[in-house]
């Protein structure tokens, strides 16, 4: 038994957190901490800040909720500002902590952080926990995924693979070491545009764990999974899709917790096409995670898994796309919603990405970086995977995906209400 640091990453919760449980098994004292690298801009090749105020706000909210939950269990969250590999070594040396436990993240920057900490002499135990399915339960090795999402899903379903049950939150936590210089929690005072489909400034969509679980319960209690398949291509409002992405991205609720609740819902209300389709979408999320396990940094090359590097794009054209001033009313409405709210429906994400790639000839990495900066539900795996997929540089056998924006507007915004809402028509 010893002094252990638990480093919260994209898992800002106590419930169903296997990595945290592993840390508890070894700890006499436990120092829970989070690192906010607010100075990411110098590391980005793109001419905009890497983290919008909206993203900072939801992260601050989730951190405040986590700290409150830790305090209720006899502990507390230490907030550090800076890159983990820079701020952790001196701090942990001061407190005699040699072991760090954290969730495993199979993305290049996050892996480099862990590698640097190991190089600095720390024992860093990383625990894989962000997929719905346990990789060890799959009928294939994660490093040799079936070549397409459809083949992946079919093999998972044919093998009857199901997620493990979620773990309970620990009732008590070991005390932190003595003499910690506790820092104030971050506070960001920013609100989304009131037209938001995901009003993260309101208590019902607060980014913390308890609000996420309450959101889940009300979503199921109102029988919304039943209609999900029919409504999921909606563009306006809070109920057309689940909005689980906010809590999943911050890790304030785990995919296994969502799925267990969905099973409970099905037992009570019956299964439907809609409830099945939520499982289907969560499998997409797993697929992009496992794709990272298989291909790693290759997913981040300009050429992706194959093809040529993207051609350079004029800065002015990219800026017009970011600002919602391309001249195409449907696309501009989407880009304005994204900038004003930090959220966008899946339908519009597909359309604006396709427009940048296939109508403007843009660089998919620049588009992915703009989404990273803006999306309150930014998730490194899902963002990179979806952009790569639409750019035709991933594993999709059908090549790149161009959406015809005129037809899409006619099909999904026939009366123009969405374009009027965002002032482009």
Ligand X SMILES: Cc1cc2nc3c(=O)[nH]c(=O)nc-3n(C[C@H](O)[C@H](O)[C@H](O)COP(=O)(O)OP(=O)(O)OC[C@H]3O[C@@H](n4cnc5c(N)ncnc54)[C@H](O)[C@@H]3O)c2cc1C
**Of 8, 149, 152, 288, the one binding ligand X by CB under 6 A:** 288
Q: Closer CB to ligand X, residue 354 or residue 424?
A: 354
Number of residues that bind ligand X (CB under 6 A): 29
CB 385 within 8 A of CB 288: yes
Contact 21, 171 (CB under 8 A): no
- Show Cβ contacts of residue 101 under 8 Å, excluding neighbours closer than 6 positions: 4, 5, 6, 7, 19, 20, 22, 23, 26, 124, 125, 126, 127
Stretch that binds ligand X, among 14-22, 202-210, 348-356, 414-422 (CB under 6 A): 348-356
Q: How far is the C-alpha of 100 from the C-alpha of 19, rounded, in Å?
A: 11
User: Residue 164, SS3?
Assistant: coil
Residue 370 sits in the site that holds ligand X (CB under 6 A): no
Examine residue 249 and tell whether it contacts ligand X (CB under 6 A): yes
With binding defined as CB under 6 A, does residue 326 bind ligand X? no
Choice between 6 and 330, CB closer to ligand X: 330
- 377 near ligand X (CB under 6 A): yes
243 binds ligand X (CB under 6 A): yes
- Write the CB contacts of 409 (distance below 8 Å, at least 6 apart in sequence): 329, 330, 419
User: Which of 279, 318, 330, 371: binder of ligand X (CB under 6 A)?
Assistant: 371
Q: Of the candidates 254, 350, 374, 408, which one interacts with ligand X according to CB under 6 A?
A: 350
CB atoms within 10 A of CB 91: 18
Instruction: Kindly provide the b/e burial profile for residues 183-208, where b requires at least 16 CB atoms within 10 angstroms of the residue's own CB.
Output: eeebeeeeebeeebbbbbbeeebbbb
Residue 321 binds ligand X, judged by CB under 6 A: no
Kindly tell me which of 67 and 363 has the beta carbon lying closer to ligand X. Answer: 363
Touching ligand X, residues 379-408 (CB under 6 A): 379, 382-383, 386-387, 390
Question: Rule CB under 6 A: which of 267-286 touch ligand X?
Answer: 278, 281-282, 284-285
Q: At what angle do helices 315-323 and 329-341 cross, to 10 degrees?
A: 70
Binding site for ligand X (CB under 6 A): 232, 241-245, 248-249, 278, 281-282, 284-285, 288, 345-346, 349-350, 353, 371, 375, 377-379, 382-383, 386-387, 390
């Amino acid at each position: 038994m010893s002094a252990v640091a638990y480093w919260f990453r994209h898992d800002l919760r106590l419930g169903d957190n296997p990595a945290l449980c592993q840390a508890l098994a070894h700890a006499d004292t436990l120092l829970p901490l989070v690192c906010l690298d607010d100075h990411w801009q110098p590391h980005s090749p793109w001419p905009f800040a890497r983290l919008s105020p909206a993203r900072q706000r939801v992260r601050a909210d989730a951190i405040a909720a986590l700290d409150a939950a830790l305090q209720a269990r006899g502990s507390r969250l230490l907030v550090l500002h800076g890159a983990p590999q820079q701020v952790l070594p001196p701090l942990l040396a001061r407190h005699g902590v040699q072991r760090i436990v954290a969730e495993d993240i199979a993305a290049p920057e996050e892996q480099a952080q862990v590698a640097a900490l190991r190089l600095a002499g720390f024992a860093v135990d990383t625990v894989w926990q962000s997929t719905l399915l346990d990789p060890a339960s799959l009928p294939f090795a994660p490093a040799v995924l079936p070549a397409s999402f459809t083949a992946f899903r079919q093999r998972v379903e044919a093998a009857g693979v199901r997620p493990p049950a979620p773990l309970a939150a620990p009732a008590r936590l070991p005390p932190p070491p003595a003499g910690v210089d506790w820092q104030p929690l971050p506070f960001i005072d920013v609100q989304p545009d009131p037209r938001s489909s995901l009003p993260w400034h309101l208590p019902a969509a607060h980014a913390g764990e308890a609000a996420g679980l309450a959101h889940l319960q009300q979503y199921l209690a109102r029988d919304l999974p039943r209609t999900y398949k029919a409504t999921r291509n909606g563009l306006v409002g809070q109920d057309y899709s689940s909005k689980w992405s906010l809590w999943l991205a911050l890790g304030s609720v785990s995919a296994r917790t969502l799925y267990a609740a969905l099973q409970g819902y099905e037992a009570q209300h019956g299964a439907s096409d809609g409830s099945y389709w939520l499982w289907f979408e969560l499998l997409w999320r797993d697929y992009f995670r496992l794709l990272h396990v298989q291909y790693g940094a290759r997913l981040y090359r300009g050429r992706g898994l194959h093809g040529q590097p993207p051609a350079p794009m004029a800065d002015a054209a990219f800026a017009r796309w970011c600002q919602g001033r391309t001249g195409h009313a449907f696309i501009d409405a989407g880009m304005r919603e994204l900038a004003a709210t930090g959220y966008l429906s899946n339908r519009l994400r597909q359309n604006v990405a396709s427009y940048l790639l296939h109508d403007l000839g843009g660089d998919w990495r620049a588009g992915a970086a703009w989404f990273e900066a803006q999306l309150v539900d930014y998730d490194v795996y899902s963002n990179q995977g979806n952009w790569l997929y639409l750019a035709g540089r991933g594993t999709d056998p059908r090549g790149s995906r161009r959406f015809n924006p005129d037809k899409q507007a006619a099909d999904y915004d026939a009366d123009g209400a969405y374009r009027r809402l965002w002032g482009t028509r």
